[in-house]
Every structure is written in structure tokens, then in C-alpha cells.
Amino acid sequence: MKDIDKKALSWDEWDELNDPRPATCDFDRVVEAAISRRGFLGGILAFGSGAAVMGTATLIGTTSAEAQAASRIGFKPIPIATDSTVHVPEGYRWQPVARWGDPLFSDAAPFDPAGGIDLASSDKVFGENTDGMELFFVDGRQVIAVNHEYVNPEINLPATGGEVTNADEARLLQNLQGVTVMEVAEGENGWQIVVDSPYNRRIHHNTPMRLSGPAAGSDLLRTEADPTGTQSLGTFNNCGSGKTPWGTYLTCEENFNGYFGSTDPNAALPADYKRYGIGLESRYAYEKFDARFDVSKNPNEPYRAGWVVEIDPAKPDSTPVKRTALGRFKHENAACALTKDGRVVVYMGDDERGEYMYKFVSTGFYTPGGATEGLLDDGQLFAAKFNEDGTGQWVALTPDSTGMTTEEILVFSRMAGSKVGATTMDRPEWVAVNPVSVEGYCALTNNSRRGVKQDDGSIRTNAGGEAMTLNAANPREANDYGQIVRWFPDGEDHGAESFRWDLYVMAGNPTVHSDAYAGSDNVNEGNLFNSPDGMMFDQTGLLWIQTDGDDSNEGDFAGHGNNQMLAGDPATGRIERFLTGPVGSEVTGLTWSVDRRAMFVGIQHPSAPFPDGEGALPRSTVIAVMRDDGGLVG
């Protein structure tokens, strides 16, 4: 790779650059190897393009005429797009609601495309790179909590071309990330931010937080500034989201590693940093101007990031809480469910090549209106094992099973997962729980290194040194398309420690390939997509799938078009395209108005002048999608 503008990279691309894939990848060899494994794969999934269906286990992609007729997908699917705007089906319309830089308070300066956002306004405007979100009904008002995953420094610091050269510039970037809480309302101009609402709030890299749960106060979490190990400043790389049964917001810290660096180029780093990708170089050079991010001075600071953070959108003065019982890794999102006896379950993915899926089960019981403060502080963390025969286990991460202390299990959850032999996955992105059936889904977005050999002939490993050999849930070498795995807890109880599983869909391209890379039977010329990422069920049990993949529309990705959102019917396997994003964007984040007549969708990092058209800057934006007839959209 040469002539790369590092500042223009998405966060995933930055991560890839810092841990690059091999220069050559023999695709023919990879495909041949995948085909030779078909006998083993056939029991778990059915390939498209005329491939024989083998075995007797659960098949995916049931697309019989009968099943299609029974589908709940009510819209007319749309074709791919490669242009600079959003498209939705006939009978639907969309409008922007909140763009990067839009004021949340009337004393914020209006957005200035030439000069950028000034420091004084930077914690009073809608942040950049919108991601996971949830809507809350608070005292008769509709309040959205929404993540701002990262910033593009070159458009926020136009005067320096994106270089951070002083503490104010570092602070500006810090203020534009984190979380926005904003009231929205529908008026004459459609859905808009309610400027100056008492619920409006920005939570960013310097917002005081509390650390709670079993790791709070541990030596690992103590720093010079906080010798108690119970206070923390800021939340980082807020990716996906979740909503608790008691109406609070869960924001998930994903690629937190990239915020920490060293002013001493020779600093010796703790051995555990490697597993989490923490190194000497940071992405935004905060460490040069803010010692908290300098690991040569504050080696414990990175342990205070990588958590799930609970925020109460109904209480603008409340302190966000980092829930250590849910483990520390590159958290994608947090999908809540209840066990049959009323304990709280949180399903979570760790988005990195070859990392694991997790779930937390509370010790206490949730009762509507009852006390909830301790529910996410006391419980058991598990990591997932997917067996070749379509069964699986949630393996408890305990001192007995891992040989680690409870504090170590929570701060170094990846190592705990390795100790129990959790299954290496193809980058677990969002988890979604079906509200009308006891089942969970996880988007395994892609893994270019799965099964790929290094120069010495050994298979590429995850950051913990475990070979990413093929396994039944992650069955394709050099998996650039991704798949969605789902599991059915035994006894129809999210509290069960065993489950059955299958693959709901293998993304692919049957117009280019006739082997495993064609995808599963429910992938066809009309619904091509790659790299499933955001996922959310609506109240009817339709699975909404958002993508963050290759939008070149060429070669292996011909016919895939821009990133998009599709709806999947779990019962029939049918998947249809509902929305296409502008070129360069990722579609991520989804929630609904209280009456379900508006759907809010996040458009992150467009490269086209979106949403305001020619001559305007590309701006990450939350849009609303409605039906022309005012009907329900989910």
C-alpha cells in the first residue's frame, strides 16, 4: 500500500493498515479448498447456484413459493445504487434529521463547511460519524441516544489538514465523538432536532463516568488521577448500541485501542496490550497534548476503555456507568433479552478477526418498576463455542475455567475466552434478539484472513496467536462476503448454556461464483450484498440488516452497489433490499419513533456530498424514513 491518506481511512481500514494482510492472496487456491470442504459444510448450510444440498441438518434460505407468499416483507424491493443519495422503495420517502455539526443548543455556531466547527461549539452540536442509536419515550417526548464512533480529522481541522498540533485541536476532536442525546419531534418541516430541549446532551471523551461491577476499584483500573479505580473520563469509539428492559441506553466501546499512544518511542508496553492492539502510535496523537492518553506515563488508562457504558437518557445530569461485569473487548453492540425466570441477558460481539461472541446473565431478576441499578454489575460472563454438528455452548468464564482472577477475566476477557477454547469468529458485529421467537442473530461481517496461510505455511492467527482455521460457523477461507449466524437456546430459554445454531445467510455473489462464494440459497441477483454489520429486529420480527462493505460494484462485488439496508424474514429466509446509501457511506444504526411511523437510519462517512447535494460537504446524517400513506414502517 502506498500513497495512502491515513486520515481519510475508516477506523476499520486504519486497523487493517496497522496489522496488514499478506501482500498476496491466492484466490483460486482458496476457492478450491473451500469446495473440497463442501461435504462437511453441507450439513449446516445450503449453497446457491445449483450446488447439491447435503446432509440433514437445518437448511437456510428456504425460498419455496409457499414460503415467499407467507413472507411478511411488504415493500417492493429496490435495485442497487451507485450514486450519491439515499433510495427507498416506492411509497416511502426520507429526509435528513441530524447532520454532523447541526446545533443541539441555540448558543452553538451554525455549521461552517469552510472553517469547520469551533471549539466553543464542539460539545453543543451533533457529533460526527453517527452509529448505533435507540429511541426512548421520556415524559411524553421522543429522545434519541446516538453514537459518534470516530472523527475524520481532515474535515474537522481544515486549517492543519487534519494534523492535531495543539491541545485545543485534540479537545475539538474529543468533543465531536461519544454520544448525543437529543429530543426529536415531527413538525411542519418533518422530523427535526428539538434545539435546547432539556434532554439534549453531549457525552464525549472527557465526560465524567463511573466504573462499576467486579473490576471497579481493582489495581488494574487505578491511575494517578484516579487512585480509587472507580472514576473515569470519557467513552471511546462508540459503535453499536443496546437498550435495557428498564429504558436506559447501552453504548459500546469498540476500537478504543487507537486512542492511546506513547510519547516515548522506546516505552516497554505491557504484554497484554498486544491482544487488544494497543501500541506506540495512536490515531489522533492525543498523547502529545493530553497525558491521560500517553501509555508511557499512564499504562493503566487503556484498561478503563473497552467497556459497555450505561446512560440514562431521562436524566440529563446522570453519570454514565461503565459496567465491568460485561467484560472488556472491542464491543460492537449489546442486545438484551430476559431468561424465562426473569434474569437479564446481554449478548455481545467482539469485532476483530478471530475474536469471540459473549453473553452476560445477571444474578438478579428484573421486575418492571423494580430496582435495576445492580443488575448489570452482578452476574456471569460466558463465551460461545460453535460445534461442527450444529450444537453449541456458552462456556462460563470463571476462575476455575480460566485460571484467572475475576478482575483479570473482566479486564482481559479475550484471554479468558482463549482459555476456554471459544470459537474464533469472522468479526462479530451486531447481535440482534428476535422479539417474537427465542433466537439470536450475529452479523459476522467478513474475515479476509480466515484460513489464509502465511509465508511460512501456517494459518493466520487472531491477535492471541490462535490459528483462524475454518470452522462450521466460519466456513470460508478469505471470507470477504460475511455471514449471519443464529442460535436457538435450548429449552427456548436465553438463560440456557447450550443451543443449536445455523447460518441464516452466507453473503456472496452467484453472478461471479458457483462455489461457496456464490452464497447461500437465499442470496440471488436481486438482493446481493456483502459485509453485514448493523442488525436490528422490528417489533414484528423482521430482521433489518445494514452493510459496511466493499461498494466498488466491481469484480467479486459486481452487482452489490453502495452499502444498503435489507429486511430478512427469519421464517422463510427471504431477504430483500429496502434502502441504499450514498456512495462511500456505511449504513449503520436503526431505531423507530414511538408510533412506528418513522424509522431513523444512520448514514456514516459518505464520500459524496450528502445529504445536501452538489457543492455541500459529505456529512454523516441520521435520516427518517416514512411511508407516504402514513403507515407503519416496522
Residue whose entry in the numeric block shows the C-alpha cell 469471540? 356
Closer to ligand FEO by CB, 355 or 502: give it: 355
Asked if 294 interacts with Ca ion (CB under 5 A), we say no
Residues 6 or more apart whose Cβ sits within 8 Å of residue 218: 229, 407, 411
Going from the C-alpha of 352 to that of each of 11, 429, 479, 552, the distances in angstroms are 12, 9, 13, 23
All three cell numbers of 234, joined, read 470519557
**What number of other Cβ atoms are within 10 A of residue 132's Cβ?**
30
List the one residue out of 126, 135, 136 whose CA is nearest residue 96: 126
Nearest distance, CB of residue 203 and ligand FEO, angstroms:
17
Asked if 502 interacts with Ca ion (CB under 5 A), we say no
Q: Which of residues 412-451 bind Ca ion (CB under 5 A)?
A: 429
Among Ca ion, ligand FEO, none, what does residue 309 contact (CB within 5–8 Å per kind)? none
Q: For residues 27 and 478, is the Cβ–Cβ distance under 8 A?
A: yes
Among Ca ion, ligand FEO, none, what does residue 149 contact (CB within 5–8 Å per kind)? ligand FEO
Nearest distance, CB of residue 107 and ligand FEO, angstroms:
31
Residues 6 or more apart whose Cβ sits within 8 Å of residue 89: 75, 76, 77, 78, 578
371 φ/ψ angles, rounded to the nearest 5 degrees: -70, 140
Closer to ligand FEO by CB, 256 or 592: give it: 256
Q: Which residues pair with 381 in a beta bridge?
A: 360
Closer to ligand FEO by CB, 10 or 511: give it: 10
Nearest distance, CB of residue 401 and ligand FEO, angstroms:
27
Q: Which stretch binds Ca ion (CB under 5 A): 70-78, 103-111, 541-549, 592-600?
A: 541-549
Nearest distance, CB of residue 20 and ligand FEO, angstroms:
18
The residue number whose beta carbon is nearest to Ca ion equals 548
Among 429, 439, 480, 538, binds ligand FEO (CB under 6 A): 429
Distance in angstroms (rounded) separating the CA atoms of residues 116 and 155: 7
Among Ca ion, ligand FEO, none, what does residue 355 contact (CB within 5–8 Å per kind)? none
Closer to Ca ion by CB, 60 or 444: give it: 444
Q: Which stretch binds Ca ion (CB under 5 A): 19-27, 506-514, 545-553, 624-632?
A: 545-553
List the one residue out of 225, 224, 234, 241 whose CA is nearest residue 259: 234
All three cell numbers of 550, joined, read 466493499
Q: Which of residues 115-154 bind ligand FEO (CB under 6 A)?
A: 149
Nearest distance, CB of residue 533 and Ca ion, angstroms:
4
Q: For residues 581 and 600, is the Cβ–Cβ distance under 8 A?
A: no
Q: Which stretch binds Ca ion (CB under 5 A): 13-21, 53-61, 87-95, 529-537?
A: 529-537
Among ligand FEO, Ca ion, none, what does residue 348 contact (CB within 5–8 Å per kind)? none
188 φ/ψ angles, rounded to the nearest 5 degrees: -60, -35
Asked if 239 interacts with ligand FEO (CB under 6 A), we say yes
Going from the C-alpha of 204 to that of each of 127, 175, 179, 207, the distances in angstroms are 9, 5, 6, 6
Q: For residues 252 and 310, is the Cβ–Cβ distance under 8 A?
A: no
Among ligand FEO, Ca ion, none, what does residue 567 contact (CB within 5–8 Å per kind)? none
Distance in angstroms (rounded) separating the CA atoms of residues 124 and 244: 26
Asked if 290 interacts with ligand FEO (CB under 6 A), we say no
Among ligand FEO, Ca ion, none, what does residue 254 contact (CB within 5–8 Å per kind)? ligand FEO
Among 169, 290, 538, 548, binds Ca ion (CB under 5 A): 548
Asked if 301 interacts with ligand FEO (CB under 6 A), we say no
Residue whose entry in the numeric block shows the C-alpha cell 428476535? 434
Nearest distance, CB of residue 571 and ligand FEO, angstroms:
28
All three cell numbers of 38, joined, read 463442501
Asked if 254 interacts with ligand FEO (CB under 6 A), we say yes
Question: How many angstroms from the chain centroid is the CA of residue 231?
Answer: 26
Applying CB under 5 A, what is the total number of residues that bind Ca ion? 3
One symbol per residue from 589 to 608: x for binding ligand FEO (CB under 6 A), - otherwise; what is it? --------------------
**What number of other Cβ atoms are within 10 A of residue 367's Cβ?**
11
- Residue 582 DSSP one-character state: P
Asked if 533 interacts with Ca ion (CB under 5 A), we say yes
Closer to ligand FEO by CB, 147 or 572: give it: 147
Nearest distance, CB of residue 151 and ligand FEO, angstroms:
14
All three cell numbers of 454, joined, read 502465511
The string of DSSP codes covering 457-477 is SPBPB-TTS-B---BTTB--T
Distance in angstroms (rounded) separating the CA atoms of residues 611 and 631: 25
Asked if 332 interacts with ligand FEO (CB under 6 A), we say yes
Asked if 351 interacts with ligand FEO (CB under 6 A), we say yes
Residue whose entry in the numeric block shows the C-alpha cell 457543492? 615
Applying CB under 6 A, what is the total number of residues that bind ligand FEO? 6
Asked if 15 interacts with ligand FEO (CB under 6 A), we say no
Cis status, amide bond into 320, omega within 30 of 0 = no
3-class DSSP state of 446:
coil
Among Ca ion, ligand FEO, none, what does residue 480 contact (CB within 5–8 Å per kind)? none
Asked if 355 interacts with ligand FEO (CB under 6 A), we say no
Nearest distance, CB of residue 183 and Ca ion, angstroms:
26
Residues in contact with Ca ion by CB under 5 A are: 429, 533, 548
Residues in contact with ligand FEO by CB under 6 A are: 149, 239, 254, 332, 351, 429
